[in-house]
Homo-oligomer: A and B are copies of this chain.
Amino acid sequence: MGRTSKLTSLQEAAAIVKDGQRLTLGGFAIYQRPMAFARELVRQGRRDLTIVGVVNAIEADLLIGAGCVSRIETSYVGLEKFGLARNFRRAAEAGTLDTVDYPELIAWDRFRASQEGIPFWPCTFLGGSGIVEYNKDIVPFDCPVTGARLWAVPPAAPDVVVVHAVMGDEYGNVAFHDRKMLPQSVDITHTRSCDTIIVTVEKIVSGREMRKRPDLVEIPALRTTHIVEVPFGAHPTSLLGIYDCDEDAFRDYATASGTPETFADYLDSTVHPPGGHAGYLEALGVERLLALRNVELPA
């Protein structure tokens, strides 16, 4: 008997996510987001998703602007130096999006609670905040040890987690950067908080290649449900050490998100044309993609 390959197409992988599910998209702020996957969800017209995140940005704003999202649980939605997340803002102001706020560290700890299989994360410092005034999923209780007022924060409990990484093998072993930053760290936590894990990678390599650095394999095959090869899968966000943020594309996005009309045009011209992700990359063109690459001399 042979070992099972978990290689999947982007379309099949996106179809795993069902309307109404709790979805976590990897990365942090405007870094290393699984954008190709998010665009595919838009193409497939997913509806009524709950985005569960730590610090969210364009990946959430895109899905909100495309009408895929009815609720978001996070500490931040914005585009950092590219400004406010305007689809998010419009939807929140229009009342079509339920916004459930958490402090940043607690938003992260919710995934640790899911990873550890504990029914809540205990938090000491929420008294007096708008968080506990408006977020009724957080339950106050008295500490069984000290008697002090504490808050039980619910686990993140995503139904599906999707992250974009550098490389993996067909069995679902996925390697991470040796020198990490928080966007890589949060992805690692994300992928341990859920039992349906979809990983898009820049490149599928052989198992033999992966075994050269088993210490860098932070997602072992046992945790991966599907793996998809998606070059430039984080575009227009960056992938540390592989390619930079496409600042022009990001600014185009920010501008387009200014009104519902211009954003509809953006989706029509950028996301919906035939050809899926390959078509998206073709439209960007070789010169532009190559200009974003990071290169260094091989060791």
Interface of A toward B, CB cutoff 8 Å:
109, 116-120, 122-124, 139-141, 143-146, 148, 150, 152, 154, 178-180, 215
Contact = CB atoms under 8 A, between A and B. Distances in A.
A148 to B, nearest CB: 7
Contact of A145 (B109, B120, B146, B180): B120
Contacts of A143: 119-120, 152
Nearest to A143: B119
Contacts of A116: 109
A141 B139 contact: no
From A116, A117, A123, A140, residue with most partner B Cβ within 10 Å: A116
A145 B139 contact: yes
Chain A at the B interface: SS class: loop
A110 B180 CA distance: 26
A122 B154 CA distance: 13
B139 A119 contact: no
A28 to B, nearest CB: 17
Q: Which 6 A-B pairs have the closest CB atoms?
A: A141-B144, A144-B152, A139-B144, A119-B146, A179-B215, A118-B122
Given A144-B152, A145-B154, A119 B122 contact: yes
A119 B139 CA distance: 16
A152 B179 CA distance: 36
24 contacts: A109-B116, A118-B122, A118-B123, A118-B124, A119-B122, A119-B124, A119-B143, A119-B145, A119-B146, A119-B148, A119-B150, A120-B122, A120-B143, A120-B145, A122-B122, A139-B144, A140-B144, A141-B144, A143-B152, A144-B152, A145-B152, A145-B154, A179-B215, A180-B215
A117 B150 CA distance: 12
A48 to B, nearest CB: 24
Nearest to A105: B116
B139 A120 contact: no
Contacts of A141: 144
Nearest to A138: B145
A139 to B, nearest CB: 5
Contacts of A144: 120, 139-141, 152
Contacts of A139: 144-145
Nearest to A140: B144
Given A118-B124, A139-B144, 20 more contacts: A109-B116, A117-B124, A118-B122, A118-B123, A119-B122, A119-B124, A119-B146, A119-B148, A119-B150, A120-B122, A120-B143, A120-B144, A122-B122, A140-B144, A141-B144, A143-B152, A145-B152, A145-B154, A178-B178, A180-B215
